[in-house]
Structure 1
Amino acid sequence: MPFAPLRRTRGLAVGAALVAASLGLAACAGDAASTETSPAESADLGDLSVQLSWILNEEWSGELIADTEGYYVDAGFSSVNLIPGPSSGIAELLSDTADVSFTDALSVGAAVANESAPLKVIGATFQKNPFTIASLADGADITTPEQMIGKRIGVQDSNRPVFDAFLAANDIDASEVEIVPVQYDPAPLVNGEVDGLIAFVTSQSVTLEVQGIEVTDLLFADNGLPFVGHVVAVTDESIASDRERLKAFLVAEIQGWTDAVADPAAGAELAVEEYGADLGLELETSIASATAQAELLVVSDETAENGLFTISDDLQQQTVASLINSGFDVAAADIFDLSLLDEVYAEHPELIAYER
């Protein structure tokens, strides 16, 4: 049975503005709040290339903070190169042009199932995937999957597989909805060209909310298609031969995202003013997005208990079930290896307590 939809109001934008006002204080407090752990002070781990799935915006708050605060260097790396997308990151891993890729579980599952790709997920930034069907609260106001039937749904080409999986998970045939090809801009939804739009709950939906447009979000994760998002993917070979480097990377990631959760505005400011300065990002929107991301996707009851980036056995099985619904026949052991993260937290248990 589907969960109730997430309905957000302009309170998120107002809250974001208040966070923005505290940026100066947050900057001053950053050093005191940062985690002191440096597991590889004497190590020389060389350079690391990290392929991101999207542009250098606030989605990568933890990475931007880890880079700025020196957590990667503290972990032992000479440098960490954050390579912006869009990209699934799979080709880069298989061609050895990236050491680590941040991607989605569906891309990893498809590569493993269809190509026997030697890849594993070693952690996940998002406990929930951010996919949603966004609709206008004073328009179609789609609150259940069944309400998509007979509606015009805007679907990007790259998101057609996940939309098909969402339909299958809810026993809806594709012929029962009118699929309208769109890009990522939410304008077709605002203009009435579509009734609903595949969006990220932390991106297009937030953009509209900041503009004062009330949005109803039908989250895939709460309506039959739960899977982890922004997964950390690597090759089997790297797990075998570069285990300590990958563990050091995970430590720096946990430190960066600990800061990003504590102060979402910090990562947004870095994206707008430095890393994505040429992208035309708006600070208010970026702060709202980073705040929603931290609250809705990054943290959960399980991360509070076990630490950031962890993926419980139950969530692994939910992800596998979603992959099977998408047509990819895999088992949890085929795509997940959480042993490195287990070792990181066993060696540095202080990292578990990211809430402060």
Structure 2
Amino acid sequence: MTYNPLDVKKTYFITGAAGFIGYHLAKNLLEQGCQVIGIDNVNDYYDVNLKVERLQRLEPYENFTFIKGDISDKELILNLFEEHKPNIVMNLAAQAGVRYSIENPDVYIQSNITGFYNILEACRFHPVDHLVYASSSSVYGANKKVPFEESDSVDHPVSLYASTKKSNELMAHTYSHLYQIPATGLRFFTVYGPMGRPDMAYYGFTDKFFAGEEIKIFNNGDFENDLYRDFTYIDDIVEGIERLLSNPQIEEGEVPHRIFNIGNSNPEKLMVFIETLEKCLSKTLGRTAEFKKKFEPIKLGDVPATYASTKLLEEAVGFKPKTSIEEGLQKFVDWYCDYYKVV
């Protein structure tokens, strides 16, 4: 296994730069001296103030350029590629959320399908060294075989969000085949950490704790057959992406497209995750913290388990996520309490 280190002389284009993963990746690249162009429509799917805060933390870097815009605007995207001539593109902009895709499907088609198509078109007309794009563990649907491997069938998604991510993988493969665009899709597994997404369960649970409200746990109170999730800390996600950026797969006679899981490959029961979050809150607050719990049936579109095999990622770039939920959740809680001034 050999891989090329990050090339700081290249220009990196990040869509969704005000988002959770986009922000952390941009910050990491900027700290190493890379030229970063970021775009985001700063929508109100969750608290805009958090997105603004992320962008404000990136503004001091002289090598950062931010454009407020939507990737579904094809003319804008083509013009930006013409002007900035990015070498490496990371498409992290997407309408996220499984349950929200049931309530508001239109925005998923606009951002995840049309938006990604525009990025592919831009890479077609303005060739790049590598296109890295966000897929999702949700493409595995309700697969029973674990751990999930990249070669598993992903033909039975259980949410529109998952369908759009599966579509992205197919679209990228086609463009790689037709136009020799080196592309890599990343199936993320439940990413969490400081400056995270408020629509994620761990963040929402913490909000409700400080509001004195009960949390809803969608497992019917069945602790024996609890939901399992492969929780992956944000720093591990960023390191995995960074290691891949300068390492597209280009082999004679092969379509230059591949897919990797990025997950902790150590799934935890949801109740264990919640108990760990309680312990972290207790430690930060210096008092016993316990959630008020209400158990409900599993939600439409949810899957019983996510569990990543990361063997391919390890073989390609020698990396395997390693942050424990104890360490990762403690960092989140410490950030949360400081950010919202609740200590």
- Superposition TM-score, scaled by structure 2 size: 0.30
Relative contact order (C-alpha < 8 Å, sep 6+): which is higher? 1
More helix by share: 1
Question: What TM-score comes out, normalization by structure 1 length?
Answer: 0.29
